């Protein structure tokens, strides 16, 4: 009997294969969003989330002295729900509606199709590369985007660094496999001494590249990058890699191509990368503080005034999911990166 061919893939390549392999990858063949899907994102829990973002964008535009042109770029738009509600909210503010141009950067052709169907009556531009945007100011919105990018992991053992890889037998992943690694080479590539004071590293090289491209645009034309995601503020990095299927954590090897693969952002690392590219943290807070300081409770009161008890309860039940400390309120953080000249901290004031 012939033995199965063995091969080894780096963790980030494994994640790309699992999520984006043509026709069979997780994001290439199914719509994972919602109660019946594998996970649910804030815009799909309550429209008030995206309404608050729309209000925040308008405040930022005002702070930029109401420029005649403004680009809004959603990074990874999922099923298109967030930008759908943002652009609907803009319709109530004709000035902003006439100055802003909305872009979506989306990798999955399958999700792009779903977005195009949902947004068919809106004027939206799809792009595959951020360099298609040649002017500004630009506001980049990244809700659960960076956590969908592939990562690498490294462990320190007896003063040397090992990289975690995945061993395949035939076409299936078998087990994790650690290989001695030259961490200095990685540090040279990203231009940051990531191993300092760490004994474990979890890093997305793609996230670093995106922040570099975005920082060039923000430094040149103004604007900002708003990151909303699972994550922690501590300097010490943690192993947070996980598979998500049917709203539960699952093994990423045995559920190859059948689960989402995600991780929690190390916000301190993102801050340092932002600094390296001349961006500053204009604000960092929890999702709870951000949405509350933008007035989510007041908005809920207005829209639920004449509703039945059941409908009212539903609105508050959904808001609770977004802001309660037990759900997404604290584990989700919001961070705004801007250039050094910009002074804007709406949504971050209470911290
Ligand atoms: C977890 S979903 C979040 C969707 C949406 N922002 C929301 O909040 O509902 C991640 C999205 O990012 C997209 N994505 C992942 N990597 C990408 C990349 N490198 N470039 C563009 N889109 C990407 C995925 O296809 C998906 O649409």
Tens-place pLDDT, residues 130-186: 999 999 999 999 999 999 999 999 999 999 999 999 999 999 999 999 999 999 999
Contact (Cβ atoms closer than 8 angstroms) between residue 191 and residue 51: no
How far is the first Cα of the chain from the last one, in angstroms, to the nearest whole number?
65
Q: Which residue has the CA at smallest separation from atom 14 of ligand 1?
A: 76
Q: Which residue has the CA at smallest separation from atom 4 of ligand 1?
A: 78
Does residue 350 have a pLDDT over 70? no
Does residue 334 have a pLDDT over 80? yes
Which ligand 1 atom sits nearest the alpha carbon of residue 81?
A: 9
Band the pLDDT of 3: cuts 50, 70, 90. low
**Nearest to 122, CA basis, from 82, 64, 68:** 82
How close is the Cα of 130 to the center of ligand 1, in Å? 14
- Cα gap 205→273, rounded to integer Å: 11
How close is the Cα of 76 to the center of ligand 1, in Å? 3
Contact (Cβ atoms closer than 8 angstroms) between residue 26 and residue 33: no
Q: Which residue has the CA at smallest separation from atom 24 of ligand 1?
A: 76
Q: What is the pLDDT of residues 270-322, one digit of tens each?
A: 999 999 999 999 999 999 999 999 999 999 999 999 999 999 999 999 999 99
**Nearest to 44, CA basis, from 123, 148, 128, 144:** 144
Mutate to test the pocket of ligand 1, among 13, 43, 107 (most ligand atoms within 8 A of CB): 107
- Quick one: how far is CA 153 from the chain centroid? 19
Mutate to test the pocket of ligand 1, among 145, 208, 242, 334 (most ligand atoms within 8 A of CB): 145
How close is the Cα of 271 to the center of ligand 1, in Å? 21
What average pLDDT does this structure show over 112-119?
97
Q: Which residue has the CA at smallest separation from atom 13 of ligand 1?
A: 76
**Nearest to 123, CA basis, from 92, 88, 78:** 88
Residues with CB under 6 A from ligand 1: 27, 41, 43, 76-78, 82, 105-108, 111, 143-145, 148-149
Does residue 34 have a pLDDT over 80? no
In DSSP terms, 103 is beta-bridged to 73, 125
- Cα gap 46→49, rounded to integer Å: 6
DSSP label of 197: T
How close is the Cα of 105 to the center of ligand 1, in Å? 8
Which residue has 């199914």 as its token pair? 30
- Cα gap 63→58, rounded to integer Å: 9
How close is the Cα of 218 to the center of ligand 1, in Å? 21
- Cα gap 5→14, rounded to integer Å: 16
Q: Which residue has the CA at smallest separation from atom 11 of ligand 1?
A: 76
Mutate to test the pocket of ligand 1, among 74, 78, 84 (most ligand atoms within 8 A of CB): 78
How close is the Cα of 302 to the center of ligand 1, in Å? 32
Burial of 26 from C-beta contacts in 10 A (0-12 / 13-18 / 19+): buried
How close is the Cα of 129 to the center of ligand 1, in Å? 14
Q: Which residue has the CA at smallest separation from atom 19 of ligand 1?
A: 107
Residue 347 tokens read as 């949504």
What's the confidence (pLDDT) of residue 33?
A: 81
What's the confidence (pLDDT) of residue 313?
A: 97
- Cα gap 173→108, rounded to integer Å: 23
**101 or 350: which leads in pLDDT:** 101
């Amino acid at each position: 009997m012939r033995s199965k061919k063995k091969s080894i893939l780096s963790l980030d390549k494994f994640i790309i294969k699992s999520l984006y392999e043509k026709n069979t990858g997780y994001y290439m063949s199914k719509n994972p969003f919602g109660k019946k899907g594998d996970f649910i994102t804030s815009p799909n829990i309550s429209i008030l989330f995206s309404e608050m973002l729309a209000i925040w964008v308008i405040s930022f535009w005002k702070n930029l002295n109401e420029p005649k042109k403004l680009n809004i770029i959603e990074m990874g738009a999922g099923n298109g729900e967030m930008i759908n509600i943002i652009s609907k909210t803009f319709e109530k503010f004709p000035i902003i509606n006439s100055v802003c141009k909305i872009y979506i950067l989306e990798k999955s052709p399958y999700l792009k199709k779903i977005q195009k169907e949902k947004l068919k009556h809106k004027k939206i531009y799809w792009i595959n590369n951020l360099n298609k945007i040649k002017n500004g100011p630009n506001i980049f919105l990244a809700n659960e985007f960076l956590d969908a990018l592939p990562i690498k992991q490294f462990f320190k053992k007896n003063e040397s660094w090992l990289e975690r890889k995945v061993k395949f037998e035939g076409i299936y992943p078998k087990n994790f496999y650690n290989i001695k690694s030259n961490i200095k080479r990685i540090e040279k590539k990203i231009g940051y001494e990531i191993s300092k004071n760490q004994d474990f590293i979890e890093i997305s090289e793609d996230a670093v590249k995106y922040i570099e491209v975005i920082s060039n645009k923000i430094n040149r034309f103004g604007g900002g990058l708003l990151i909303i995601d699972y994550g922690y503020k501590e300097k010490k990095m943690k192993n947070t890699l996980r598979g998500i299927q049917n709203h539960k954590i699952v093994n990423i090897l045995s559920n190859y191509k059948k689960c989402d693969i995600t991780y929690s952002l190390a916000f301190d690392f993102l801050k340092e990368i932002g600094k390296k590219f001349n961006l500053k943290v204009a604000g960092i807070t929890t999702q709870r503080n951000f949405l509350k300081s933008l007035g989510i409770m007041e908005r809920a009161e207005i829209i639920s005034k004449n509703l039945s008890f059941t409908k009212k309860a539903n609105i508050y039940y959904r808001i609770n999911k977004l802001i309660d400390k037990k759900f997404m309120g604290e584990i989700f953080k919001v961070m705004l990166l801007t250039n050094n000249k910009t002074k804007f901290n709406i949504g971050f004031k209470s911290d």
